[in-house]
Structure 1
Amino acid sequence: MAAGARSLERVSDALRSEALAMLYAINTTIQMGCNRVIMETDSIQNHPEKEIREESNQFPSPVRLIPSPKGLSGIEEFCARVANEKCFPILAVTFYCVFMFFFVLIRLSIHAYAQNVRVIIFDVRGGGQELRSMVNRRMTRHRAMALLVYMGVPVTPAPNPFNLPSPGHSYHIIRLIDPYQPQLQVDLLIRDTDLYLVAFRRSLDDNWGNWYRFSDQQVPSFIVALDLGFTSNYSRVPGSIPTVGGPEDMVFIFNTLARHEDRLRLVIPAVQRTLHIATVLRAVQNAAVVFCEVMRFIAVLLEMVRRLEAGEAASVLPGEMWDMITSWHVDCWFILDVRRRLALPAHHWESHVNEVDRQRFDQLINRVSVIIYIPELFTSDTRRMTRRQENEVRNIQDPGFPAADA
């Protein structure tokens, strides 16, 4: 975490230096332009019909100049010289410097927003204990940001009107590291409101590459991402279901995502490129299981920890786990619908549902670790979120991640 913070500070310092240098260039250019205008205007007024040839290489061609009225300020004389078509190069340079200055300011703003995204470090060779610790730290942060905790299960946070740079979703980053490859890092961008993996990027020798996103996922406005060319949906075609879990799979995810940008730059046959894209698809699907589904289901977390601690090879998840994963949204809808229909203390609700619903509810509430926020089932909460003029909106500050286990 300290290394990541130092890297951000270096980038921020570089951008500030760039902005100051650009501001100095603007000031110098305008000063030179104004001084040159004043000198040439005085010369023209004394010799109105004289053709002046510049001694410098900046304006080598002769230009007939029209004298400017006396008593003008430096800026006015500068504008008069522009009208005489003498100072267009200076004006062009000035406009270019102004444009670049504001461009750097925008980059500084974007960098400031990006710094607000919380980062948690994960060692891909850390084993089951590392995975369990990461999930516990993320869950602590998630509970602090949750809209509510229903029967012990947190609901994902609602879109926050105070989020920057624009109202809406918040995000966090899981930064993958490999102690055997310290020059490489991989960032996984996770959306807090539904715990979806939406994009990734890699760093080589502290130089961050492009973000790559799923075709069906949007990234925050301060990130520019390239389309991966496929969606975030899991493949359920027989023979295409991803094999996941185990120490080797962690390294596979890291290496594949870390080398994706380099592979795209190579001129390789179409067949090899197709195989590479299929490999990347498998890697991001495995990453979604290992880093997203473990937050949603305790059973998936325990299975991933078991496979890591046992040193197992990657294999297909049991069918019932895939059923849980693919029906998470539907199951959360059912749970929240029961909550909406039965606004009663927990010890009274069983007498108000039928036997089938009660059995299903017990199964679902015990197997999910997080409930997704569904606006349609939070009428009163949604209304409060939109009534900012009455000061009933909570500005949920990101608490960050707790310290790692000792």
Structure 2
Amino acid sequence: MSDFQPDDDRYVGRQVRTIRARRGISQQVLADRAGLSRGAVAKYENGERPIDSRRTLLVLASALGVTIGDLTGHPEQEKLDPVAAGFHAAVPDIETALWTHGDLTENRRPRTLNALTTAAREANRLRADCDYATLGPLLAPMLVDGYRWVREKPSDEQAWDVFGNVAYGVASALKARGYPALAWTAAAEAQRAAQHTGSPAAAAGSAFYRSQILLTRPDALPAALREAEDTADRLAADVRTVGDVEVTGMLRLQASLVTAALGGDPEPHLAEAAEQAGRLAEAAPSTSLARNESFRPPNITLWRMSAAMERREPGQVLALAPTLSPEHLPNQNRRAQYFVEVGRAHAMQRNHRDSLYALLRAEHAAPQHVRNMVHVRELVGHMMRTARRELTTGDLGRLAQRVGVVPT
């Protein structure tokens, strides 16, 4: 049974206090288990300090013996957002398609491979722009069509390539919407497709999302790092095409973020990613649908900002921010992430007004994504408790309602 209980004035520290009390342990015991000071635990629990880093969230969840979802309420709270209802309503059909490998009783003829390729590209665009409400209902029919094609043409490399791209996109969307177990199943299907095509990009894409899912689990960070590092190293000799460079490069960026979450130095992985981006101009054209066109120098700078934020280095984030124009980032997801990192950095320096402005710009870029982010909810809730009244009764108060930290 989950320890999550709904709460009108919800913040992660309050849930930490509730679960700690149920476990019958003191703040000092929790602090010792988590490697924190008792004073820090007290401030988290009282709402005096936001839990604004992945590393802190992970160590507290591990020390309490719960999942991150038990502390944050995700995905339960996000499912209450009417804007997200379209995606969540589609999940049972996605689940059935994955469980049955598309072997359903419906009589609809599958679309052609070319039509499915076009649909997969459109789904990738919707996912990159965080339009999950539109994306959700498209996913199960695409999966069913993909499964039918690989059953009917088990030796057809194009069929497996298209199916793998669909499964990769499904894994990404499910992970983003709070369904990690189902996302893992979809990532495994993408990996199965990659084994049929032999595409390094497809294999890297599946490993990327397995590592991202592991990154959300207490005590699984070493496994998340191995998944990213080992796969990138194993595939390095076979990288030839633009897609191979892009997706294996994203594995290097993922390794940098996990390393930072573990308290290590992410720079070697970031430097490898930058070196790999330099190979794009000479790489052969892609023959596979497996791509990640966001892997370009601007996105590497953004991941550098995220790694600095994981290491609680707000000054480094704010020093990097002016070197990167959000317009140079490839999609709404990445632009929103830029403003979220700037907002988090300003909040860490107690500059609430600039933090609010950055978070509002992030929300404008990708509302469905940003309103669902744990860090955003935690920061907005903290600012509602501590910021000046003129902020809490204006834009901040309205943002707090939209992200669900206070009742509407």
TM-score of the superposition, structure 1-length normalised?
Answer: 0.27
Q: Which has the higher strand share?
A: 1
**Higher gyration radius (CA):** 1
TM-score of the superposition, structure 2-length normalised?
Answer: 0.27
Q: Which has the higher helix share?
A: 2
